[in-house]
Structures are given as structure tokens and as C-alpha cells.
């Protein structure tokens, strides 16, 4: 294990967690957006997005290191949730169809808030790990004096 492995691992996790917080915040902000994307001349509601992560490498050695608690993560991409949109009967809504139903985003604000709190806690844990590693490195430099 290299000297800066712990710092690199925490830094990659911090970057991934920050992106997850940004995407979750976007989902919460668009929870009521009936105009998300234009498809074939018609507006579709906003579709929930999710961040997909994986270990930094896919070799046996990297999997072995991650089992020991060493490694890091990388963001593979941001994917859209394919669950169906919610439909609500609101005949007075400007986006209501002929039957009076409005298609709303597939975003559950409660679930998004739980994800946001969980991601925030993970972020805080990685900051703590980063600070602990930094403290250990500083103490080891003091020993060498």
C-alpha cells in the first residue's frame, strides 16, 4: 500500500459523493416538473437520474485491495430511472391529457431526501478518514525530526 493510497481513496469517494449530492438535489428540484424533455414534439416529465459508481480498476489486484479496504471509486455515468411516471387526475392542469390526467416525474421526494442524508453522511465519513490520514502523515514527519 502506497503512502498516499488512503488520501487518493478518500478523494475519489469525495468526488463521487459530491456528484451524487448534486444529482439528488437536481431530482428534488425537478420533482414537480412536467416539462423535462421534448420527445417527438411532446413534453415528457422530468425523469429521475441516478449516479453509477464502480471500483477504480477491475483487475483481480484492485478487487483484492478493495477487500482490504484500499482502493477508490469512479463514476461510470448518470443513468435515468426507467420506472413509469406518476399520473394524477387534474383536469384543470395545462398539461392534462384528454382524460384529465397529468403525468408527473418518477421522483419521490422522501426517497431523495433519504438518499441525500445518506450521501452526506458518507461524505462526512470520507472527510474524517482523509483528515485522519493527514494527521498520521504529519505525526510521522514529526518523528523523523
The span from the CA of 36 to the CA of 47, in Å, is 7
pTM: 0.81
Contacts of 51 (CB under 8 A, 6+ apart): 16, 19, 20, 23, 75, 77, 78
Per-residue pLDDT tens digits for 95-130? 899 999 999 999 999 999 999 999 999 999 999 988
Per-residue pLDDT tens digits for 25-79? 999 999 999 888 888 888 899 999 999 998 876 566 655 655 555 568 889 999 9
Per-residue pLDDT tens digits for 78-87? 999 999 999 9
Grid coordinates in use for 75? 463514476
Half-sphere exposure of 114 (CA within 13 A, CB side): 5
The span from the CA of 133 to the CA of 76, in Å, is 27
The span from the CA of 52 to the CA of 48, in Å, is 13
Amino acid at each position: 500500500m502506497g503512502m498516499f493510497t488512503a488520501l487518493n481513496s478518500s478523494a475519489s469517494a469525495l468526488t463521487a459523493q459530491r456528484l451524487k449530492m448534486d444529482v439528488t438535489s437536481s431530482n428534488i428540484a425537478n420533482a414537480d416538473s412536467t416539462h423535462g424533455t421534448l420527445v417527438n414534439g411532446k413534453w415528457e416529465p422530468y425523469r429521475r437520474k441516478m449516479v453509477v459508481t464502480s471500483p477504480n480498476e477491475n483487475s483481480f489486484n484492485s478487487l483484492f485491495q478493495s477487500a482490504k479496504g484500499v482502493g477508490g471509486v469512479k463514476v461510470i455515468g448518470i443513468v435515468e430511472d426507467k420506472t413509469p411516471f406518476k399520473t394524477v387526475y387534474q383536469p384543470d392542469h395545462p398539461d392534462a391529457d384528454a382524460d384529465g390526467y397529468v403525468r408527473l416525474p418518477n421522483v419521490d421526494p422522501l426517497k431523495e431526501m433519504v438518499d441525500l442524508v445518506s450521501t452526506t453522511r458518507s461524505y462526512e465519513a470520507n472527510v474524517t478518514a482523509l483528515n485522519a490520514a493527514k494527521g498520521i502523515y504529519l505525526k510521522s514527519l514529526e518523528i523523523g525530526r
